[in-house]
Structure 1
Amino acid sequence: MLGRTLLAVTALAATFAVPAALPDADAAVRVRDTVALSNDDNGHTVSVHSGDRIDVHLVAVRTDSEKWSWDVPAASSPEVLHRDEGHTTPDGDAVARFTATGDGTSSITAHRHCRVTRPGHLCSHLVRTWKVTVNVS
């Protein structure tokens, strides 16, 4: 009798046992991450995984007599970072979305140009570059 009871208890315990390691939900389908980049990220390096998204929003700089407007951000290696969308706004901001499509390194760059907002003022011909390096693995 004791043997059958132990056998029944052992079978019952095996039925309710928790596996030592639960399967990783990300192993089958990894949820995409999104990295947001802004003016403050100039000069930084970020690391992402293939399939992740990168959103860039650059804000124009304004003074009483000039506005420094952005052009559309671009990737140096489109085979690593694909630009899904990109545009500028009437107020001089720039917006772009990239998807990491392959392993490697790419930079995202944009340029800021001066626009006169007050008659009689002259802008510098200086062009300022914004750049972020992106490592994809």
Structure 2
Amino acid sequence: MKALWLAGFPLAVGVALTLSSAPAPEPYRLATRHTIELTEAAAGTIEAEVGDRVEVRLAAYDEDDRQWEWSATESSDVSVLKQLRSSPAPAGDTFARFEALEHGRSEITAQRRCKGSPECPRGVQLWKVTIAVRGPADTTR
């Protein structure tokens, strides 16, 4: 019986040495997030989950010597959907990034205006998308 135990001893020592030389695990790991990309064609209600990112890209355009430009975007409830970044471009485009923080609903809005021509219509066109965030407080899943 002793001979059998001693025969397996080098294998056990080798496994122990291999395990002890393995790198230590990282103290944390970022969770994978989903990114929802929205353009001026988006409308209605979009579902997201806590931790998701929402990116908005609204493109300006020219039409009959008129320039249609976008305002910066806004979130109606920053406790639900926090704006992380907003950068309107000089050409009239706008980009924004939001993060879904908690269960609830928030509207993202922007306005499109006509510039550059006396033939521009008065007023603005409103762009609006509702983000419905599901999360830990959501029991309807």
Give the TM-score normalised by structure 2: 0.70
Structure 2 Cα separation of the partners of residues 63 and 48 of structure 1: 34
Q: Which aligned segments of 4 or more residues in structure 1 are displaced greater than 6 angstroms?
A: none
Partner of 2:109: 109
Partner of 1:61: 61
Note the 1:1-137 alignment, pairs <5 A.
Answer: 30-41=31-42, 43-116=43-116, 121-137=118-134
Residue identity over aligned pairs, in percent, reads: 35
Gaps of 5+ in 1: 1-27
Q: Deviations over 1:94-128 (max 9, x none)?
A: 10000001110001000001111x5xx33211200
What SS does structure 2 have at the residue aligned with 1:39? coil
Quote how far apart the aligned CAs of 1:29 are.
6.9
Structure 2 Cα separation of the partners of residues 103 and 61 of structure 1: 35
Q: Deviations over 1:10-63 (max 9, x none)?
A: xxxxxxxxxxxxxxxxxx97421000000110x221111111000000011211
Number of matched pairs: 106
Q: Deviations over 1:47-80 (max 9, x none)?
A: 1111100000001121132111000111000100
- Provide closer, same or farther for how the CA distance between residues 93 and 29 of structure 1 changes in structure 2, counting only shifts above 3 A: closer
What SS does structure 2 have at the residue aligned with 1:40? coil
Amino acid at match of 1:39: E
Give the TM-score normalised by structure 1: 0.72
Quote how far apart the aligned CAs of 1:87 are.
1.5
Structure 2 Cα separation of the partners of residues 30 and 47 of structure 1: 19
